Amino acid sequence: MHESSLPYIQCVRCGHSLELETFEEKNEIIEGLLSCVQCNGVYPIISSIPFLVEDLSLFFSIRAKLGGYLLLNVKDKKIKSLIKQSLQEIKKVGDDITDLERNWVGIYKKSKYSAFQIKVRHVIKKLPQCDFVVEHGCSIGTMSEITAKSHGKIFGIDKSFFALLEAKKRKINNADFFLADSLSRPFGTMKFDIVVALNVLELIEPLQLLKIIKMQAKRFVLLSDPYDYERGKSSVKVRLDEKSLRSKLKQAGFKLINNTRKPSFISWKLDVNPRLELNYKVDLVLAAVLRK
């Protein structure tokens, strides 16, 4: 984490500002603790990634393997103790998704330069230069890196530690990445010139995410999704399609821009393994905040 990002983040429990304790630093903070003086919330920084997670035990309840991995690889004793305590306090263990999240990193790394990514790059470059951008579900940082070349400070949010590790490897000077739930509002009421949320409507409750986007967006919002909601127990409760998404955006005070007024079917190919490809048709929506 870059120390310059500290003023922009907040405690996800109570919304108070955070204090920083650094244990290892090299160009940025490698290991440290973020502490809230209001509610005593503590958030570790591990491998330069802040864990802005309200309940670390709940987070590890479906990522016990990740907890063990971190316990072995973290150097600082305070952080080790925090991880160990969180693992001991797990109340109910669910199906572990550590390997699944790690596997998706490999899939995203292999799957480059699809028509969808080329289209998004074109859209981002065409937008007027902006100072602050937030990307929900930034994954391995592919789009964050593209956005950083044309715009100012980029904040990426994701819940996959291994994806964020890959994003950090890109060494984007004007980007910082946070492990957090987008709905927990780690940036409080901060306004962003551009809010990006690509292919996450099946992962984050769409109506709740739109509320966050409405609060955050200062100028533009860029959304996309293949509307692939078949995820079993982890499926979202409310499912938006191309029509209802556009309707909700208009109700929230956004104006659809150019050719995104109508649904699109942009090819997004993912190489799972040598014998398996996933071919999605992605809908892309660009909207502007209506000035009052």
Higher pLDDT, 156 or 276: 156
Domain boundary among 77, 96, 115: 96
Between vectors from CA 139 to CA 169 and to CA 273, what angle results, nearest 5°? Answer: 90
Please indicate, yes or no, whether residues 83 and 113 belong to a single structural domain of this protein: no
Residues 181, 136 contacting (CB under 8 angstroms): no
Please indicate, yes or no, whether residues 109 and 16 belong to a single structural domain of this protein: no
Domain boundary among 96, 131, 165: 96
In the three-class reduction of DSSP (H, G, I as helix; E, B as strand; rest coil), residue 48 is classed as: coil
Residue 233's pLDDT band (cuts 50, 70, 90): low
Please indicate, yes or no, whether residues 166 and 206 belong to a single structural domain of this protein: yes
Q: What is the mean pLDDT of residues 18-41?
A: 96
Q: What is the mean pLDDT of residues 13-22?
A: 96
Please indicate, yes or no, whether residues 76 and 116 belong to a single structural domain of this protein: no
- pLDDT higher than threshold 80 for residue 140: yes
| pLDDT 10s digits, 94-133 | 899 999 999 999 999 988 778 999 999 999 999 999 999 9
| pLDDT 10s digits, 190-201 | 999 999 999 999
Please indicate, yes or no, whether residues 158 and 17 belong to a single structural domain of this protein: no
Whole-number Cα distances in Å, 69 to 97, 98, 104, 269:
13, 10, 18, 31
Please indicate, yes or no, whether residues 17 and 65 belong to a single structural domain of this protein: yes
Please indicate, yes or no, whether residues 117 and 150 belong to a single structural domain of this protein: yes
Q: Which tokens sit at 96?
A: 């572990």
Residue 217's pLDDT band (cuts 50, 70, 90): very high
CATH number for the domain harbouring residue 119: 3.40.50.150
Please indicate, yes or no, whether residues 34 and 153 belong to a single structural domain of this protein: no
Quick one: pLDDT at residue 51?
A: 98
Split into its structural domains, the chain has a count of 2
Hey, which bits of the chain come out as E strands?
Answer: 18-26, 28-36, 42-46, 49-52, 132-136, 153-158, 175-180, 192-198, 217-225, 254-256, 266-273, 276-289
Residue 273's pLDDT band (cuts 50, 70, 90): confident
In the three-class reduction of DSSP (H, G, I as helix; E, B as strand; rest coil), residue 18 is classed as: strand
Domain boundary among 75, 96, 117: 96
User: How deeply is 185 buried, as exposed, middle or buried, from its count of CB atoms within 10 A (0-12, 13-18, 19+)?
Assistant: middle
Please indicate, yes or no, whether residues 47 and 177 belong to a single structural domain of this protein: no
Please indicate, yes or no, whether residues 37 and 115 belong to a single structural domain of this protein: no
Give the residue numbers spanning the domain of 127. Answer: 103-289
- pLDDT higher than threshold 60 for residue 292: no
**Proportion of the chain above pLDDT 90, given as a percent:** 88
Please indicate, yes or no, whether residues 167 and 116 belong to a single structural domain of this protein: yes
- pLDDT higher than threshold 80 for residue 60: yes
Please indicate, yes or no, whether residues 117 and 259 belong to a single structural domain of this protein: yes
